[in-house]
A and B are shown apart, each in its own frame.
Chain A
Amino acid sequence: MGEKSKNQISLPTFIVWAIALSVTAVFCWILGDILWHGVGQLSWEFLTTEPRNAGREGGIAPILISTCLILAVCLAVSLPLSVGTAVLLAEFTTTESRFGRLVRRSLDVLAGVPSIVFGLFGNAFFSIKLGLGFSILSGGLTLACMVLPILIRSAEEGFRAVPTEYRLGAAALGLSRTTTLWKLLLPAATPGLVVGLVLGIGRAIAETAALIFTSGYVDRMPESLLDSGRSLSIHIFDLSMNVAGGDANAYASALVLLILLLLVNGMATWIAQFWLARRIKS
């Protein structure tokens, strides 16, 4: 009997394995499909030429530039804001403080706001109220609002992970809190900040809905931050939905987007390990 029950697979085991294998299969299907159809289109020329014929032919050079510019605006605004807020939440407020609790609660809600609602807000506030129009600037600012909760949460965790002894030591030496922050806490919390940064970048390059009505559709090379610029994700959307015969280049663009995301993720892991190693050595 013991022999028999060893060879039999119980129903729950079977179901759980079936779920895992089918999820893996679908994942391979999605990636395989995009790799299979995209890799043939991908070339140096594709990355460095302008799109022609509504994107059916040519490359994605201006779109890559626009994506980078939107990302740069987004990070230039959101990084200082989020590090500042995280320092305040982690180092200058107790968990019972009402101000801290209010800020945290509002960030929790902000994290759940759908991206299309960010798009509506960005359109009404940055594009129309502040008069920035459809531009890289309003797109970047909208994305900045969107990635704030992610950045703040991981930065806060980074600061909380710094051992209390560092602060005690600094206080015993009579260092001012400003000096402690710049010379001690910020460097020590860097791995947390980098992880947050990468998660934020990942979310920002993947975003589409918040950008349609803020940074716009124009696929020319942007000349300034006030020009409209089409992000890579919008390019994929536009090619597959609005341009008949755009699928081939949409596949290639999707592949580029996935590769970018993988690179960003890999870089994060590498940087985090590098910092960890340096901290242990020194």
Chain B
Amino acid sequence: MTLFNNKNLSPSQSDLVLLWILRGFALLTGIIVVLITAFLLLEALPVLQQVGWLRFVSDPSWHPVQGFYNLMPMLWGSLLVTLGAVILAAPLGIGSAIFCQYYAPPFFSGFYRQLINLLAGIPSVVYGFWGLVVLVPLIGKLQPPGTSLLAGIAILTLMILPTIALTAEASFSEVPTEYFQGAAALGISRWATIRSVVLPATKSGLFTGLILGTGRAIGETMAVLMVCGNVVQTPTSIFDPIRTLTANIALEMAYATGNHRSALFVSGLLLMVAIAILVAVAEGMSRRNIYG
């Protein structure tokens, strides 16, 4: 399909120039990831050399100015808030897609799809603001102070639901029509068809959606920063305020210097590693889908 690869015809001079310019552009865009990783490493290196990896988990607390660098509470915060959001958003997102594809009357299905698209486009700072002025006071009535792990989970659920719903719907629409005809011929009900034909057939697509949602939840900063309370502590209940790795960076970058600043780049590096793992898992899943 790409005629431009025809090696039998010698290209004109201007075509060669164009090709090299385009290669330059592609190289530049391809190298940004390398540049980001390199700069994170470069900035993280001083604290890694002077303090070492181990102290990030074994220090008594996070008081970087005094030289204590325990990142564990923030790691727990990030992990719990992400986990909670994915557990809630998975059934809601997949349920939304099932609704759109198989249950909704035609006029409502189009409307609902548009709504999910709009939900995906709302900026995280707006979600955060709404959470702060509406949701947090509501949770506060239940159990003060309101800014909490629960508030973070609720907001993140709303934010990753569209990602999961849209990928799920895309994979549902790829299920061959023969499957439904076969199921209908066997007299299987709508729900039984979905449960025993559609869901198994789209397993890897649904999983990819979950991975994408997880990635978005781990990396989310503003909304979580605004509703979670930002107290450095390992939470014992869902009403405890928490601070995530991302919020920690956003809060302390403004005044951090020396090893403190370095330590923040270490948490950036951790986030980068988490994303790389998620991308690798997603890619492995889609490959198995093709060849397995």
Q: CA separation between A258 and B127, bound complex, in Å? A: 11
Given the complex, which residues of A lie within 8 Å of B232, measured CB to CB?
Answer: none
The answer, among A33, A80, A90, A119, for a CB contact under 8 Å with B134, is A33
Q: Are B26 and A85 in contact (CB under 8 A)?
A: yes
User: Please, which residue of chain B has its CB at the minimum distance from the CB of A82?
Assistant: B29
How many residues on the B side are at the interface (Cβ–Cβ under 8 A)?
86
Decide yes or no whether A224 CB sits under 8 A from chain B. no
* Contact for A112 among B96, B222, B249, B279, CB less than 8 A: B279
CB contact under 8 A between A209 and B250, given known A85-B25, A178-B18: yes
Please pick, from A91, A93, A120, A257, the residue contacting B249 in the complex, using a CB distance under 8 A: A120
Is A42 interfacial (CB-CB < 8 Å)? no
**CB proximity of A151 to chain B, nearest CB, Å:** 10
What's the nearest-Cβ distance from chain A to residue B196, in Å?
12
Known A23-B161, A208-B124, A265-B121: A116·B99 in contact at CB below 8 Å: no
Residue from A90, A108, A177, A247 whose CB has the most chain B CB atoms within 10 Å? A177
What residue of chain B has the Cβ atom nearest to residue A235's Cβ? Answer: B125
Q: Is B240 an interface residue (CB 8 A)?
A: no
Whether A109 sits at the interface, judged by CB under 8 Å, is yes
Interface string of A8-24 (1 = CB under 8 A from B): 00101101110110011
Identify B132's interface contact among A27, A91, A240, CB under 8 A: A240
Q: Is the CB of A209 within 8 A of B5?
A: no
Q: A19-B99, A99-B26, A123-B253 are in contact. List 15 more A-B contacts (CB 8 A).
A: A12-B191, A19-B92, A23-B92, A84-B24, A85-B25, A88-B19, A103-B27, A113-B33, A115-B219, A120-B253, A176-B11, A177-B12, A240-B132, A241-B225, A257-B126
Closest CB-CB distance, B277 to chain A, in whole Å?
Answer: 10
A residues at B contact (CB < 8 Å): 10, 12-13, 15-17, 19-20, 23-24, 26-27, 29-30, 33-34, 80-82, 84-85, 87-94, 99, 102-103, 106-110, 112-121, 123-125, 129, 145, 148, 152, 164, 167-168, 171, 176-178, 181, 202, 205-209, 212-213, 233-234, 236-237, 240-241, 247, 250, 254, 257-258, 261, 265
Question: Which residues from 241 to 255 on chain B have a C-beta closer than 8 Å to any C-beta of chain A?
Answer: 246, 249-250, 253-254
A208 touches B279 (CB 8 A): no
Question: Once the chains bind, are B43 and A208 in contact (CB under 8 Å)?
Answer: no
23 A-B pairs with CB atoms under 8 Å apart are: A12-B194, A16-B103, A17-B99, A20-B104, A23-B96, A24-B115, A91-B4, A110-B32, A110-B36, A112-B279, A115-B219, A117-B271, A119-B250, A121-B40, A124-B39, A164-B3, A176-B11, A176-B15, A207-B123, A208-B125, A209-B222, A257-B125, A261-B121
Q: Any chain A CB within 8 A of the CB of B98? A: yes
Complex contacts, B35 vs chain A, CB 8 Å: 121, 125
Given the interface contacts A114-B271, A116-B271, does A257 sit within 8 Å of B21 by beta carbon?
Answer: no
Q: Report if A16-B95 is in contact (Cβ < 8 Å); known contacts: A88-B23, A117-B36.
A: yes
The interface centre, meaning the residue of A109, A202, A258 with most chain B CB atoms within 10 A of its CB, is A109
